[in-house]
Structure 1
Amino acid sequence: MDTASHTSKSAKAVVRYEHLPSFTSALLKNVFFPHLTNKRLLMPLFIAILLTYNSTRAVTLSVLSDAFFQVAAFVYASLALYYVATLRVSAEAIGNYMKAHPVHEVGLSALLGALPGCGGAIIVVTQYTRGVTSFGAVVAVLTSTMGDAAFLLLAQAPLDALTVMAVSVTVGAMTGLVVNKFHNYQAPEADGALQQSQNCDKPKTVSHKAISLSKVFWMIASLPSLAIALGLAFQLPVHSYLAISESTLTLIGAALCISSLGLWSLCGSGSGYASITKEDLIPPPPKWQEKAALDTQFVLAWVVLAFLMFELSVVWFGLDIAGLLQSMGPGLVGLAITIGFLPGCGPQILVTSLYLNGAVPFSAKLGNAISNDGDALFPAIALSPKAALIATVYSAIPAFLVGYGYWYLFE
């Protein structure tokens, strides 16, 4: 593309935004427009536009503050504890144990899948492509995993999270054993493909400075935010203790949330679907502080999206999302299960947020947890597309059985 053509297209794009307020127009032209290849920047851009207008400013500030104090503060605390506890867990040691104890591999794979995040599932998938584990182990881990949505559910509804995990492990192990008995599909070893898949996020597309800033931001903000979040959770007048107004506390929470979302948008390439719906970098961050910060920001971004979808549907269209979804009846369970087929943890975090807001029943959440494969589906597709497709189909069967079984028996 020549310079004149590029300049002409840029001018036309800027003209489209002339009807917006001057602040938003300047933001578009000077900050976002030169970097629109990073789709993550659309999130803070959208929020900036919402804050510009009087009709959406109050609800947006409330959503941002609630998402930060009610969700992100607890998620970071649980992530930090989890990553510190698993700091010395070696993926190679797990692979060697599974190879030496093939009888235990399906059950162990189901347990690895139930661990919050996608690390356990990715271990099993990569070991399978190297011929270490069976296909039943892959089906078991993909069936039991809930991905990063597990952190959100653990932080907000721990008893529900433990129930979902227990059911997922049981169903995953049973499904894996059945698959091994009747269709233990063996994919060709794909170490070359593994190496190629690990280069999907090139270092030059990731801002290492933004990652460092994210770590510092959360190291400073985590404890004060958690203290405020606990006070709000116990319905204490936190703003009175801090000698500020309630609106000022909302502004503080919104500002912290916007800062975190801005860092999230700069910590990934944002160049495709995978970069938006997952957070794991290749190679993964070497320090738990960085990984906890990045994963918290990722969960926060999708939670904010879900909260805004809820509130703006009322402000703009007068819709009741919860009522609309619940009117679907048993079809809602099928919708949640279908969303689970989408690779990545982002859509699954959205479903979990809807569940926590009372928009979807427990049966739908349960079906989604079983059907979703989290971030592990990305390396599975890259390493062995046929195995990934078959495993997804097999995991769909127990998802429909359990989801609809719970619906008809208990709801």
Structure 2
Amino acid sequence: MVTMAEVFEVIVVSMRDAFLAVTVFVAAMIFLFSWLQYITAGKFVDIIRSNTRWQPVIGALMGITPGCGGAIVMMPMYARGYVTYGTVIATLIATLGDAAFVLIGAAVTDSAFIAPVLAVHFISFIIGISWGYLVDGMKITPRNPLGKYGPTFENNNPPRNLPENKNEDAKEILDDLGREDESGWGYFLLHQGYTVWWIVTALGLIFAVLLLVWSAQDADFTLEIDYNPFTLNGIITWIGLIGTSLSVILYVSQKNWISDDTEASIGDKLYSMRETMIHSASETAFVTFWVMSAYLIFEFSMLFSGMTEADIARYGDGFTAVILASFIGLIPGCGPQIIAITAYTKDLISFPALAANAISQDGDALFPLLVRHRAASIWATVHTTIPALIVGFSLMAFGVTF
């Protein structure tokens, strides 16, 4: 019989661990990559427009950067006719969205994840480039989903490729991303409360690093639950609880339930360093919510079913897991993908399933494509799922695992 004390402990531990084991490291990485996007976005736009032959490669590079920002920037460029459909596919295959931060965070805290993190990014990058060139080579487009070997469908909103657009600079393209609506309590809460969130996160990062050091020095070291704020365990527990609570508040205030990055938020980040910090907080809060949700799902599943992680892991191997992971990738947004990736970090699904999900998922980039080009967004999910299944099954056949 499960007691309320056990349920409460699962919630507390999940909140604490989600913040100290994932959030604080994710926050640092999101801020770093957001800053890099802030200072280089215009250059990437200019480079990709002037190097048509290398567009799938550059698109894959934009996609492979952790987060959804690089991939989202590519979507209005396709709508304007500046990049090929193969470039879009290369970008979407390469991106792991915000789920990448979960993997990288796991590698920071456990060196055993370094190899699979590098491997899945390398595989996604190479498959993205290869499939992108294949799509362009076969003349595959939303209007010709089977390329030159299949039927041609009517396209009511083809990508623009007008002569007068040739002189547009990167700023005009980034302007197409839009800006956020500055009204509403969600906007106010995020823009006024992000400083408090960053202070708590900075403290959490310090203690998270110390926990890694203490664990390395003492193999028997364990972090106990303690609600006394005047003890070390108590301080760490409360930082974790407060940090996760603030993250949930920011997450709810934005009302972006399964996706965090929007064209407007990316547009704001690319024009303001302050907005970069603000939306880095929002993006990290989004990741925190879904990681905590994954923790709660796994822990409650074991608590109420009596199963162990080893029991659950038996269902995460085999062809069924690869197919399921690929189909989860069909769901737009980063939320469901974070749960899938978290399952791998807890040894609940196999590496082939991880790779299949990484290739199939499109992160938040599918939403702006859906708005601008519905046919492209629909066919893109199909054209990214096919290589996901092929790669997943191939990795299984050759026994590749980490």
The answer to whether the Cα contact below 8 Å between 2:262 and 2:368 also exists between their aligned partners in 1 is no
Aligned residue identity for 2:354: K
Instruction: Provide the residue aligned with 2:373 in structure 1.
Output: 384
Q: Report the Cα distance in structure 1 between the residues aligned to 2:352 and 2:184, rounded to whole angstroms.
A: 40
Among candidates 200, 207, 217, match of residue 228 of structure 1: 207
Instruction: Provide the residue aligned with 1:354 in structure 2.
Output: 343
The answer to whether the Cα contact below 8 Å between 1:61 and 1:251 also exists between their aligned partners in 2 is no
Among candidates 198, 203, 213, match of residue 219 of structure 1: 198
Among candidates 253, 275, 280, match of residue 261 of structure 2: 280
After superposition, the Cα gap between the structure-2 partners of 1:99 and 1:337, relative to the gap in structure 1 and judged at 3 Å, is same
1:316 aligns with 2:304: yes
Among candidates 292, 303, 308, match of residue 304 of structure 1: 292
The answer to whether the Cα contact below 8 Å between 1:190 and 1:383 also exists between their aligned partners in 2 is no
Structure 1, unpaired ranges of 5+: 1-49
1:80 aligns with 2:31: yes
Q: How does the TM-score come out when normalised to structure 2?
A: 0.79
Structure 2, unpaired ranges of 5+: 108-113, 144-156, 162-172
Instruction: Provide the residue aligned with 1:58 in structure 2.
Output: 9
The answer to whether the Cα contact below 8 Å between 1:367 and 1:402 also exists between their aligned partners in 2 is yes
Per-residue CA distance 1:140-193 (angstroms, 9 max, x = gap): 1111111011111112124422221111111011101111111242651379xx
Q: Secondary structure at the match of 2:52?
A: coil
CA-based RMSD of the aligned residues comes to 2.8
1:188 aligns with 2:158: yes
Among candidates 233, 240, 251, match of residue 264 of structure 1: 251
The answer to whether the Cα contact below 8 Å between 2:263 and 2:368 also exists between their aligned partners in 1 is no
1:119 aligns with 2:69: yes
Among candidates 33, 42, 54, match of residue 104 of structure 1: 54
1:344 aligns with 2:333: yes
Instruction: Provide the residue aligned with 2:78 in structure 1.
Output: 128
Among candidates 64, 86, 90, match of residue 140 of structure 1: 90
The answer to whether the Cα contact below 8 Å between 2:21 and 2:105 also exists between their aligned partners in 1 is no
Q: Report the Cα distance in structure 1 between the residues aligned to 2:325 and 2:185, rounded to whole angstroms.
A: 32
Q: Report the Cα distance in structure 1 between the residues aligned to 2:326 and 2:185, rounded to whole angstroms.
A: 32
Aligned residue identity for 2:372: L
Q: Secondary structure at the match of 2:189?
A: helix
Per-residue CA distance 1:68-111 (angstroms, 9 max, x = gap): 101111111111222233331134x4333222211111111111
The answer to whether the Cα contact below 8 Å between 2:201 and 2:243 also exists between their aligned partners in 1 is no
Q: How does the TM-score come out when normalised to structure 1?
A: 0.78
Per-residue CA distance 1:20-45 (angstroms, 9 max, x = gap): xxxxxxxxxxxxxxxxxxxxxxxxxx
Q: Report the Cα distance in structure 2 between the residues aligned to 1:172 and 1:250, rounded to whole angstroms.
A: 42
- Give how far 1:219 is off: 2.6
Among candidates 346, 357, 379, match of residue 368 of structure 1: 357
Among candidates 103, 106, 127, match of residue 171 of structure 1: 127
- Give how far 1:265 is off: 1.2
Q: Report the Cα distance in structure 2 between the residues aligned to 1:102 and 1:312, rounded to whole angstroms.
A: 51
Q: What is the number of residues matched between the two proteins?
A: 350
301-310 vs 392-401, which moves further = 392-401
- Give how far 1:248 is off: 5.4
Aligned residue identity for 1:276: W
- Give how far 1:320 is off: 4.1
After superposition, the Cα gap between the structure-2 partners of 1:252 and 1:99, relative to the gap in structure 1 and judged at 3 Å, is closer
The answer to whether the Cα contact below 8 Å between 2:330 and 2:360 also exists between their aligned partners in 1 is yes
Aligned residue identity for 1:280: D
After superposition, the Cα gap between the structure-2 partners of 1:369 and 1:177, relative to the gap in structure 1 and judged at 3 Å, is same
Aligned residue identity for 1:292: S
Instruction: Provide the residue aligned with 1:332 in structure 2.
Output: 321
Q: Secondary structure at the match of 1:373?
A: coil
After superposition, the Cα gap between the structure-2 partners of 1:298 and 1:258, relative to the gap in structure 1 and judged at 3 Å, is same
Instruction: Provide the residue aligned with 1:7 in structure 2.
Output: none
After superposition, the Cα gap between the structure-2 partners of 1:78 and 1:341, relative to the gap in structure 1 and judged at 3 Å, is same
Aligned residue identity for 1:406: L
Instruction: Provide the residue aligned with 2:147 in structure 1.
Output: none
After superposition, the Cα gap between the structure-2 partners of 1:307 and 1:322, relative to the gap in structure 1 and judged at 3 Å, is farther
- Give how far 1:300 is off: 0.3
Q: Report the Cα distance in structure 1 between the residues aligned to 2:46 and 2:351, rounded to whole angstroms.
A: 37
